[in-house]
Amino acid sequence: MVLSARSTFAIGGVFLGCCSGVVFLELLVKLDPGAGNLITAAQFAFIALEGFIFTSRLGLAQRVISLRDYALLVAMFFITSVCNNYVFEFNVPMTLHMIIRGGSLISNMCLGTLILKRSYRISQYISVVMISVGIFICTYFSSRDVAGKGENSDKDATEADGFWWLVGVLLLVLALFVSSYMGITQELLYRKHGKCAREALYYTHLLPLPAFFLMQENIRTHWHLALEGESYKVPLMDLAVPLILLYLLGNVLAQHLCISSVYTLTTECSSLTVTLILTLRKFISLVFSIIYFRNPFTVYHWLGTLLVFVGTLMFANVIRFPQRVNRAVKQE
């Protein structure tokens, strides 16, 4: 398969933007685990501003899809984004965060069967079972890590930590299913109006901005924490910049490159190619997180991760079961 220059740049953007975005996100949550709403608001504001200038052309461009049709899509995207960034407040480790989000094929299959009445191959059902078992293994042993941290502390505090960790995991699962339903909604909109990825990217980030006023106290609190936190002295300049704000800027720019590249990739490549690239990207991010940030990862976590990624590749028909070939035997 020969890739166009546009596809090649999009693939490069996925690896550079998405992988570096995860690194900046982990650096942020290690300094301030509760900064999820601040991070999400900054991402939405930047992408909306860029879209207003280049996609909407300062509001002069004609919309392809009506605002009414965007309403449900925007609501789901907002919920998914807030949940995915806010769960770090509940002691959910980055590694588990990536593994659960890697199980989107489970929710895609469930909703695809119920809503779109799709049918799947036996191998795809087997792959989804593998992904489910892999996520369960990782979740179970991560819960033991949370319990283990509290062995020398107060029992009530340990139970509270375990409860809020479970809340965080459930929020991730909720975001997983909402995201899959959002994908179906987006697919139906594209069938009706044609592909308009840049417009969808712009409006899904612009329209939810007023909702962040409901979180203004939380955002303001963590903004002040960022200003009062550790600073970084810029080389060759007598200027000290809050470290969290530098990481936030890096995350916002990387997230813009990541999501723009993914949107471009979906219009340039087949769904199989996109699945392969995103799966490989997630695996690289996971391995980097384990090695660089020294996150706890046992042999059971590796087993669960292997089941998730092999199951994903099986679902995409990259890894295939050997097929029995029936050959007619000629009798002499």
User: Which of left, alpha, beta for 272 (phi over 0: left; psi -120 to 50: alpha)?
Assistant: alpha
Q: Which residues contact 253 (CB under 8 A, 6 or more apart)?
A: 46
CA within 13 Å, CB half, 218: 18
Q: The whole model's pTM is what? A: 0.87
227-261 b/e (C-beta count within 10 Å ≥ 16 → b): eeeeeeeeeeeeeeebbbbbbbebbbbbbbbbbbb
pLDDT at 332: 41
> Per-residue confidence of the chain (332 residues) as pLDDT tens digits?
567 888 889 999 999 999 999 999 999 999 999 999 999 999 999 999 999 999 999 999 999 999 988 999 999 999 999 999 999 999 888 888 988 988 887 888 888 888 888 888 888 889 888 988 988 888 888 877 665 665 555 666 677 788 899 999 999 999 999 988 988 888 788 888 887 888 989 999 999 999 999 999 999 999 999 999 999 988 877 889 999 999 999 999 999 999 989 888 877 776 667 777 887 888 889 889 888 888 878 898 899 889 988 888 888 777 776 665 554 444 44
